[in-house]
């Protein structure tokens, strides 16, 4: 990082000044339910009546969850996006967030980019940053997101029943290609396809609106952050069921299919992670209504399999057993 601001000699005195300078909006996008935002010992929030509060936290570490030379705007976007994806998986409405930002130096240019990426996405989802803590140290970003959902209606991983269909939003595997491009394991002359998958990786779109629309239709949901081979077993186990998936049905983007052979694309779709799509269990009688909801949001929704009694996940291809790859989350080191 470079810039014209001195490193924070004191890690606490500067916290509010940093937050105020880079993460405030004039006029503030603060919601009327934010009774007290950044600047006191804690924030005060009025949670809407008859709702359940939804809380999640995710941390990004430089060199692990993004390359050290990643654009700061992308890091800011991603830090909030991965949390919004958790809120989406509950069918909830995101509302408030806090930011714990540990950074080696308070470089103005870096912070401006980071804040722009985070705040643009926050504004797009009506999220108010209500608090934060800035400390000096190795670049680490934790966002805690708070949201709300009508009492008793949140989607959980555990609600699926035998016979429910399995579906995923959007496309899978693009981030695997982006990681391969970023780390030099994949080269291409197809600039447009490369840009498409890099955009998917650098600026993931959490499926917040669709998650909310799926309440009352889907029986269970979670976000796909570790690849289907990492995540689907968790949903199946939480619901006490087995899952069967036809890998021929996995939704693959045109860009991904342009960049690599189908077999590689499928491997990434299964195991690469970082897609931030939603995995849903859907009672068949709700399928058409859920497809309508996806269509209204211009979002792909693809049936990939179903849930049945038992446990574990069975991967198939043309009706035969398919050897799915082991979980293969990539790190930048």
Residues in 160-219 that interact with a copy of itself by CB under 8 A: none
DSSP letters for 176-188: HHHHHHHTTS---
Nearer to a copy of itself, 183 or 284 (CB): 183
The pair of structure tokens assigned to 190 is 């197809």
The backbone region for 173, taken as left when phi is positive above 0, alpha when psi lies in -120 to 50, beta otherwise, is left
In a 13 Å sphere around the CA of 171, the CA atoms on its Cβ side amount to: 20
The answer to whether residues 23 and 99 touch, using CB atoms and an 8 Å cutoff, is: yes
Longest dimension (CA), the chain: 63
In angstroms, what CA-CA distances link 283 with 27, 161, 184, 294?
Answer: 45, 8, 43, 16
SS3 74: helix
Give the binding range for a copy of itself (CB under 8 A) out of 97-105, 239-247, 263-271, 295-303.
97-105
Considering beta carbons, is residue 89 or 259 the nearer one to a copy of itself?
Answer: 89
Residue 68 or 296 with smaller CB distance to a copy of itself: 68
- Choose one: 42-50, 114-122, 162-170, 187-195; the region binding a copy of itself (CB under 8 A): 42-50
What residues from 253 to 272 belong to the interface with a copy of itself (CB under 8 A)? none
Quote the CA–CA distance of 2 and 4 in Å, as a whole number: 7
Q: What is the DSSP letter of 243?
A: E
Q: Which is nearer to a copy of itself, 79 or 245 (CB)?
A: 79
**Going by DSSP bridges, is the β-strand pair 277-282/220-224 parallel, antiparallel, or unpaired?**
antiparallel
Question: Which region among 22-30, 125-133, 194-202, 280-288 touches a copy of itself (by CB under 8 A)?
Answer: 125-133
Stretch that binds a copy of itself, among 96-104, 116-124, 239-247, 301-309 (CB under 8 A): 96-104
The one among 79, 89, 121, 307 contacting a copy of itself by CB under 8 A? 89
Under the criterion CB under 8 A, does residue 45 sit at the interface with a copy of itself? yes
Instruction: Give the distance, in angstroms, between the CA of residue 114 and the centroid of all CA atoms in the same chain.
Output: 17
Query: With respect to a copy of itself, which residue has the nearer C-beta, 128 or 255?
Result: 128
Give the residue, chosen from 31, 156, 314, 317, that forms a contact with a copy of itself under the rule CB under 8 A. 156
Q: Of 55, 150, 291, 299, which lies in the binding site for a copy of itself, with binding defined by CB under 8 A?
A: 55
Contact 207, 221 (CB under 8 A): no
Q: Contact between 329 and a copy of itself (CB under 8 A)?
A: yes
Among 18, 22, 54, 180, binds a copy of itself (CB under 8 A): 54
Please identify, among the stretches 136-144, 173-181, 251-259, 317-325, the one whose residues bind a copy of itself according to the rule CB under 8 A.
Answer: 136-144
């Amino acid at each position: 990082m470079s810039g014209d601001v001195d490193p924070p000699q004191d890690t606490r005195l500067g916290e509010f000044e940093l937050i105020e300078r880079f993460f405030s909006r004039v006029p503030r996008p603060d919601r009327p339910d934010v009774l007290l935002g950044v600047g006191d010992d804690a924030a005060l929030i009025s949670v809407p009546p008859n709702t359940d509060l939804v809380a999640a936290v995710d941390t990004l570490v430089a060199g692990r969850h993004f390359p050290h030379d990643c654009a700061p705007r992308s890091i800011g976007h991603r830090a909030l996006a991965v949390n919004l994806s958790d809120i989406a998986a509950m069918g909830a409405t995101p509302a408030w967030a806090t930011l714990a930002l540990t950074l080696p130096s308070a470089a103005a240019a870096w912070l401006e980019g980071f804040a722009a990426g985070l705040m643009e996405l926050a504004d797009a989802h009506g999220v108010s940053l209500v608090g934060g803590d800035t400390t000096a140290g190795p670049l680490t970003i934790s966002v805690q997101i708070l949201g709300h959902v009508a009492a008793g209606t949140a989607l959980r991983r555990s609600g699926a029943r035998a016979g429910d269909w399995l579906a995923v939003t959007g496309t899978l595997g693009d981030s695997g290609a982006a990681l391969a491009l970023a780390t030099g394991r994949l080269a291409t002359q197809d600039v447009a396809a490369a840009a498409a998958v890099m955009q998917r990786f650098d600026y993931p779109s959490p499926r917040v609106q669709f998650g909310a629309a799926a309440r009352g239709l889907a029986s269970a949901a979670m976000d796909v952050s570790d690849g289907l081979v990492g995540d689907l077993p968790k949903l199946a186990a939480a619901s006490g069921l087995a899952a069967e998936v036809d890998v021929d049905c996995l939704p693959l983007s045109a860009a991904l299919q342009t960049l690599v052979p189908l077999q590689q694309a499928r491997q990434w779709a299964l195991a690469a992670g970082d897609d931030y799509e939603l995995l849903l269990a859907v009672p068949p009688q709700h399928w058409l209504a859920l497809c309508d909801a996806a269509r209204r949001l211009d979002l792909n929704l693809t049936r990939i399999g179903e849930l049945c009694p038992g446990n574990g996940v069975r991967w198939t291809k043309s009706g035969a057993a398919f050897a799915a790859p082991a979980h293969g989350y990539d790190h930048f080191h």
